[in-house]
Amino acid sequence: MSPYNPPNDILALVLYRHVLQTAFTLIEDIHFLEKTLQNGRLQTDTDKMVKEYSRPAAGKRDPGPNDLRPPEVLVRTVDYLLGSITAKKDVAWKDIYDFVFDRLRCIRQDMVIQNIGGSSAINILEKIARFHIYAGYRLCTEPIARFDPKINNQHTQECLKRLLYVYSVEPGNHDNRQEFESVYLLYNLGQTDALMHFYDLSKDLRTSSLISLCYRTSIEYMIGNNVRCLRLLDHHLCKQYPILLCALHRHLSHIQPLAQNSKYPVENLLKLFMFTNTDHVISECEQCGLNISNDKQSVNFLKGSFVYPDKEHKSYLEVIDKSITMDNLSDILLKKLPP
């Protein structure tokens, strides 16, 4: 029997029921990543609870000062999410993504309301952008019902564009700017807006080895020189920044096919276009309507039979998987990679 006996007054009973419903809702909303295993059961851990995203709605009061986290708290929260949560090996990464995605969205909401800029904004946005770009690669094989790449891409673009804007208005040199100017070019490969942005950069940035390499890669892609595009990406500079390869990954379905009237060895395609194995080469070619020789040693490229894919890339790359593991993921998301 409950230790609390509700009063007979009808209004009080309604309020009592509302309080109970609210309490149960709050308990149910606590994510399992905000709990700790104690005595064989998951118990709520207040040290692990992170403010969740709340969509603005008509009639809802504006957040007050006590509802908003200052910049230094937001930075620590991002470091916790990307340093402690994303690298968990006992949790499905899709579940990790859903939780971290929501909490990072709330962090960006707090930033917008407070108009946070400067070095704090740069610190936060760099890490969030890395997370979204890596997530787009990590979850590329998930069905649309479990992971929507369009939504993830939208948030990636918002973070990148806001980050590049803060770079442009915040005085001084920014350690990771070359990385993210390059990421923006590769993530928007061949896009006019990204290429025009390149010309808005200072001469020092435009002539830097990494940014100029990614600019040339985007140009080669735009003019259809796919072979040259991938050869540039085999450059040692790109391999030092695995997030760059993740940014490029979504375009591989458009880069890998070659539309020319000729036969080409499957083994050469395997090496040239970063396929996983020969079966992967054959599968991708067949999806594009290309004929494979009976001995499966060569591909016949005929323009008339070629069907251009209209999807983002849906398979993993060995070069990325070797560069980003669960052991170094947190370091890659949180820190500047070694020069």
- The per-residue pLDDT for range 211-259, each reduced to its tens digit, is 999 999 999 888 888 778 877 777 888 778 899 999 998 888 777 654 4
Question: For the purposes of burial, counting CB atoms within 10 Å of the CB of 121, is it exposed (0-12), middle (13-18) or buried (19 or more)?
Answer: buried
Residue 327 lies in a domain: no
- Comparing CA positions, the residue from 329, 272, 261 lying closest to residue 300 is 261
What is the per-residue pLDDT across 201-213, written as a single tens digit (0 to 9) for each?
A: 999 999 999 999 9
What's the pLDDT score for residue 10? 62
What was the pLDDT predicted at 59?
58
Cα(69)–Cα(188) distance, rounded to whole angstroms? 32
How high is the pLDDT of residue 254?
Answer: 76
139 part of a folded domain: yes
137 CB contacts (<8 Å, ≥6 apart)? 246, 249, 250, 316, 320
Confidence band (pLDDT; 50, 70, 90) for 178? very high
pLDDT at 306: 60
* 201 occurs within a structural domain: yes
Structure tokens at 74: 């937001």
* Domain-embedded: residue 175: yes
Q: Is residue 116 part of a domain?
A: yes
In a domain, 12, yes or no: no
SS3 string, the chain, reads CCCCCCCCCHHHHHHHHHHHHHHHHHHHHCCHHHEEEECCEEEECHHHCCCCCCCCCCCCCCCCHHHCCCHHHHHHHHHHHHHHHCCCCCCCHHHHHHHHHHHHHHHHHHHHHHCCCHHHHHHHHHHHHHHHHHHHHHCCCCCCCCCCHHHHHHHHHHHHHHHHHHHHHCCCCCCCHHHHHHHHHHHCCCCHHHHHHHHHCCHHHHCCHHHHHHHHHHHHHHCCCHHHHHHHHCCHHHHCCHHHHHHHHCCHHHHCCCCCCEEEEHHHHHHHCCCCCHHHHHHHHHHCCCEECCCCCEEEECHHHCCCCCCCCCCCCHHHHHHCCCCCHHHHHHCCCCC
Between CA 96 and CA 89 the distance in angstroms is 10
Give the separation between CA 163 and CA 49, rounded to whole angstroms.
Answer: 27
Residue 304 has pLDDT above 80, yes or no: no
The reply to whether 331 falls in a domain is no
Domain of residue 93 covers 31-36+68-257
Single-letter residue type at 317: L
Average pLDDT for the chain: 82
| Residue 145 backbone phi and psi in degrees, to 5 | -70, -25
pTM higher than 0.85: no
CA 154/CA 164 separation, integer angstroms? 16
**Residue 143 φ then ψ, to 5°:** -65, 155
Instruction: Report pLDDT digits (tens) over 318-334.
Output: 778 888 888 889 988 98
Model confidence at 156, in pLDDT bands (50, 70, 90)? Answer: very high
Flag whether 99 is in a domain: yes
pLDDT tens figures, 84-136: 999 899 999 999 999 999 999 999 999 999 999 999 999 999 999 999 999 99
Residue 3 clears pLDDT 80, i.e. is over it: no
CATH number of the domain encompassing residue 202: 1.25.40.990
pLDDT at 222: 87
Total structural domains in the chain? 1
